[in-house]
Structure 1
Amino acid sequence: MSIGNSGRIVIEIEPELKRELHSVLRLEGTNLKTWFLVQVEELLAEKVQKSLPLEHGTQDRELQ
């Protein structure tokens, strides 16, 4: 899969899976774009939080 410079993300999934996903999201009162952006933010926040203790531990060792 190529990575371009636009803000678009294109993935191909089975049509039935796509219908099910849109159906569930509609019931939850959201849409695919909003759901995806929430998932991305949560993933990135989790990765940043996991890296903070390691950075802090490194700084502690440098001070000693």
Structure 2
Amino acid sequence: MARGKSGRIVLEVDPKLKKDLYLELARREQTLKDWFVAEANNLAYNGAQTDLFKDSNPNAKDEKKV
């Protein structure tokens, strides 16, 4: 896969995954870019991935799941 020198990252994902991801990000009041940059920084600089099921946005609405 080609890697350019720009700051762009282009991905092709399953349409259902894209829809579900945007729904969850909207619930968290977070943009895809903000979420990706936070996850990428954590992986690149801390060598670890965050728990994708944990709400990583402190501004998100507090909802209890039953």
Under a length normalisation based on structure 1, what TM-score does the superposition of the two structures give? 0.68
More helix by share: 1
Q: Which has the larger radius of gyration?
A: 1
Q: CA RMSD in A?
A: 0.9
Structure with the bigger RCO (C-alpha within 8 Å, sep 6+) is 2
For 1:23 and 1:5, the matched residues in 2 are separated by: 31
Unmatched 5+ stretches in structure 1: 48-64
Aligned residues: 47
Q: Percent identity?
A: 38
Unmatched 5+ stretches in structure 2: 48-66
Runs of 4+ in 1 over 4 A off after TM superposition: none
